Structure 1
Amino acid sequence: MSTQPPNIIAIIGGGFSGAALAWHLLKGPPVPLTVLVFEPRSVLGSGVAYSATDPNHRINVPASRMSIDTAHPLDFLEWLEETGTNHQDDGARQPDGHLYPARKVFGQYVAARLAPLLEAHLLRHIPSLVTAARKVSTGKWILETQGGDVFEADTVVIATSHPAPQLPRQFAALGAFLSAETRPVLINDPWKPDGLSTVKPDDRVLIIGTGLSMADTVASLAAQGHRAPILAISRRGQRSKSHSRTPVTATGDFLSPPASRTRDVLQRIRKIIADNPDTPWQAFLDRVREQGPQIWSSLDQTERRRLIRHLRPFWDTHRFRISPQTENIVNKALQAGILQIKAARVIKVEKEGKTFKVTLRHRNGHTDDQVVDAIITTTGPAHVNILHSQPFLKSLAAEGHIEMDHSDLGLHVSAEGNAQVGPKKDPSLFVAGPLARGRFGELMGLPEVTLYAEKLANTIRAQTAMTVPENATLIS
């Protein structure tokens, strides 16, 4: 029998990224490891995206394309059928037969898949935040939690969520004095539970951002009976695109030969779409998504930054498509004149009593003032704040264990998923989920996150020792 010390895998973050990694670590042939997942929420697998309680917040791809199991892509759809969950939501099924359940339902599915592992004590849920992580001279990791406990681990995986949206700089002076509970209302993170509850039906609303989060916000406000004007703005005023009205299969080749310039990538995509007018563009963009990591890897840092600067807004609106139900709600609000979407940006904001006076500069150069009762930020994650978004990340950065990726999309990781600083990678520290997308390019969609979780699990399993620990070591 091996006398090698036990291997304890500590996953910090129990949203989908952390849950999928835990599941893939433990689903195969038994290996000698114990998996700890540190997640303050009461259940694993939901995270920010799939813990939304609003039934109007739906998954934005058909259920048939979502699964925790890469070898069983219809697993979620079959779970919906087996449990009867699909019959509890009349609005989930579309005329084409596809199901778009509420996001919280997908979180329930992930939790159900992890339940047997928890019951068998192969997986342990630590319902607390990690406040500090440090590596000691033995090579092991010491994790401190908000609850005051200290754990020891052989391998640590960072699987935390993106930082919350950042207030535009024009709001910096107001942010210290205003919140979702004050009048006027300033909401920086509409994803928080009851995050929109303080917005009254007659409040004039300004939404900063026009992507999927804007659409979800409009859906939530509509469900609350909102009837006052809503203005949504972004630099380009682009909405998230629709799914194809007819079934599509990913098609096209965007790798032969690999393009080394952003311009060439764009020209190739445009040409293939133009040459095939009878094929929905979604089929080609789905193939770009599949080949995204290879496309990204062929670009140097200069070209990657160019792609982010010029093409990312267009990619986001075409890649992150809106669910049909949410699109219908947004369209009704537009048709009713309640919602307007404009290409503009905030250049000045002042508090005037219980309202905001906001000066906007439109894309044509024209400026005007808007008086609103509530401002909601839906601009997406504040990637630049990653290293300061959580205390344990601050401690890891301060001790030289992590750094930002050169593309500023996430953390610097190696091709194997190890945290990397300069040329040095740490074999016992990994990054799971979207925070690793600076290396791989496309790690925001669930299929890509799942595939990467499986790859990471195989890497970690391969370096696992041959002694099975009974439990984690609780030091204090």
Structure 2
Amino acid sequence: MSDERETPAAVDVAIVGGGAAGVLVALRLLADPASSLRVALVDPAPEPGGGAAYATAQVTHLLNVPAGRMSAFQDDPGHFVRYLVAHGHGDAESLSTAFVPRRAYGRYLLDTLRAQPGFEALRALRDRVVGIDVMPSGQRLRLAAGGQLDARHVVLAVGNRPRPLPASVLRGEVPVVEAWDDGAVAAIPENADVCIVGSGLSMVDAVLCLAERHRGRLRVVSRHGLLPRPHAAGGPAGAPPTGLDAPSLRARFRALRAATQAATAAGEPWQWVFDRLRPRGQALWTSLPHAEQQRFLRHAVRYWDVHRHRIAPVAAATLATLQASGRLQVQAARLQGVALREDGRIDVAVQPRHAEAPEQFKVDRVINATGIDTTIDPRPDRLLGQLQANGRIVAGPHGLGVSVAVDGRVVDAAGRTDPALFVIGALRMGQLWETTAIHELREQAHDIAAAIASLEGEARPG
């Protein structure tokens, strides 16, 4: 992998984003020893593989899936476990069901990338793409440092970005700590009273970062006040519940409730039902009529998320212990206002879900843990904003991500499929919904790499 100062004039494939999604695409492109593809991976991070999820240095930040399900290769499910064994993390039997630190997975992705036969053809550029223009020979990437890079194919693997707190609730210049900023969360004084806005996976990370040393009060505020559920051990293979192909969302949830009740009555954890559903997640979404998808997003999405996107049992136990001690309080309420006081503390106003009168309380810090932003960042100095302004991308269904064809290529404002601009991961949420876990990313990476290899074969006779 080249020094980031070596910017090639042109490559065959440019991957924008060096997190898990980008690395998985690179792995597939470089896996064939007979391939002559020149690949560039463009990301401002010091090394590929980390991204928002796996760059954390916190040992308490664990994978939300057992290691046995986290292989980078769908056709080699034991690959990650063998890597852990080879690096002294334990034995294969225990590791296959273990929730290991996420930082170990980031290192795994980087080491696996370096082990590919075509690795020497990779150019990792420590830079940021600010624009992509159509050229006669393909695409031209404009880089923040002032350089440019030409490529016949471009893969947008830009990953997730945190959803900002609504400007309407901020009263003046209020300092807000982002849950994804591990350093800023760890720097919160140990006796500070903290309000965490959002009760999903980002909140779990923030609480785990603070749990060992923090002694102040932690108050979590979210509209529903629901916490992610824990995984259950085991989960044997089995048929998913019947009735989930019904056209109405109500009928599907009725069938799902019946299946979980039957599992519980048979002595099985309800989590096993959701585990059996996992391979069908995208099919369940795409088979829902548009109006029923909207109904899901309005009324059911949070209930689905806390059951489907679960956390390690040890993380759930930590949350439960903090709640039992009174250090962690979870409230179902809407955030109405956040204002900085003259004394440096912060006033937080909320409207509890089942109360008529609003409440107000004081804290020392506010953490934004509202999750990922699912819309296109419209700012023209951002890559997606520039592409949208030029009509090269448009918002996907329900305003989620971008519009894409079935094979992952973007669809422009005129409804045309771009022959050379692919998308992987969160930007396909409107099309697929379930599209951010490694299980989905590795399949998309495989398909994108195969499509590019096929196109390259057509373009290079002989």
In the other structure, the counterpart of 1:309 is 298
For the pair 1:178 / 2:169, whether they are aligned, the reply is: no
User: Does structure 1 conserve the Cα–Cα contact (< 8 Å) formed by 2:244 and 2:284?
Assistant: no
Q: Distance in 2 between matches of 1:120 and 1:453?
A: 17
SS in 1 for 2:235: coil
Q: Distance in 2 between matches of 1:36 and 1:241?
A: 39
Quick one: which of 313, 324, 336 aligns to 1:347?
336
Q: Distance in 1 between matches of 2:459 and 2:167?
A: 53
Aligned-pair identity in percent equals: 28
Quick one: which of 379, 394, 410 aligns to 1:403?
394
Quick one: which of 239, 253, 262 aligns to 2:240?
253
Matches within 5 A, 1:25-174: 25-28=29-32, 30-86=34-90, 98-117=97-116, 120-136=119-135, 138-174=136-172
For the pair 1:272 / 2:276, whether they are aligned, the reply is: no
In the other structure, the counterpart of 2:374 is 383
In the other structure, the counterpart of 1:232 is 220
Q: Distance in 2 between matches of 1:262 and 1:171?
A: 33
SS in 2 for 1:142: strand
User: Does structure 1 conserve the Cα–Cα contact (< 8 Å) formed by 2:323 and 2:329?
Assistant: yes
Distance change (3 Å), C-alpha of 1:124 and 1:313: same
Quick one: which of 179, 187, 190 aligns to 1:201?
190
SS in 1 for 2:64: coil
In the other structure, the counterpart of 1:183 is none
Quick one: which of 432, 435, 442 aligns to 2:434?
442
Q: Distance in 2 between matches of 1:291 and 1:60?
A: 19
Distance change (3 Å), C-alpha of 1:453 and 1:389: farther
User: Does structure 1 conserve the Cα–Cα contact (< 8 Å) formed by 2:200 and 2:227?
Assistant: yes
Q: Deviations over 1:172-222 (max 9, x none)?
A: 443xx233xxxxxx21x2212412144111111100111121111111112
| Alpha-carbon RMSD | 2.4
Q: Deviations over 1:294-339 (max 9, x none)?
A: 1112122222111122111011111111112222221221122110
Q: Deviations over 1:10-69 (max 9, x none)?
A: 110010001001111221362342111101112111111000111111111111110111
User: Does structure 1 conserve the Cα–Cα contact (< 8 Å) formed by 2:41 and 2:123?
Assistant: yes
SS in 1 for 2:52: coil
Uncovered stretches (5+) of structure 1, i.e. residues with no partner: 1-5, 88-92, 180-185, 469-476
Residue type matched to 1:240 in 2? Answer: P
SS in 1 for 2:397: coil
User: Does structure 2 conserve the Cα–Cα contact (< 8 Å) formed by 1:7 and 1:465?
Assistant: no
User: Does structure 1 conserve the Cα–Cα contact (< 8 Å) formed by 2:199 and 2:226?
Assistant: yes
Matches within 5 A, 1:352-371: 352-353=341-342, 354-365=344-355, 366-371=357-362
Q: Deviations over 1:256-280 (max 9, x none)?
A: 6733222222122112222332232
Quick one: which of 242, 245, 260 aligns to 2:230?
242
Uncovered stretches (5+) of structure 2, i.e. residues with no partner: 1-9
Task: Number of aligned residue pairs: give it.
Answer: 446
Q: Distance in 2 between matches of 1:390 and 1:415?
A: 29
Distance change (3 Å), C-alpha of 1:305 and 1:29: farther
In the other structure, the counterpart of 1:412 is 403
Residue type matched to 2:115 in 1? Answer: P
User: Does structure 1 conserve the Cα–Cα contact (< 8 Å) formed by 2:197 and 2:366?
Assistant: yes
Bigger RCO (CA 8 Å, 6+ sep) = 1
User: Does structure 1 conserve the Cα–Cα contact (< 8 Å) formed by 2:171 and 2:338?
Assistant: no
Distance change (3 Å), C-alpha of 1:150 and 1:313: same
Q: Distance in 1 between matches of 2:404 and 2:241?
A: 25
Q: Distance in 1 between matches of 2:132 and 2:258?
A: 49
User: Does structure 2 conserve the Cα–Cα contact (< 8 Å) formed by 1:162 and 1:386?
Assistant: no
Tell me how far 1:102 sits from its aligned partner.
1.1
User: Does structure 2 conserve the Cα–Cα contact (< 8 Å) formed by 1:205 and 1:374?
Assistant: yes
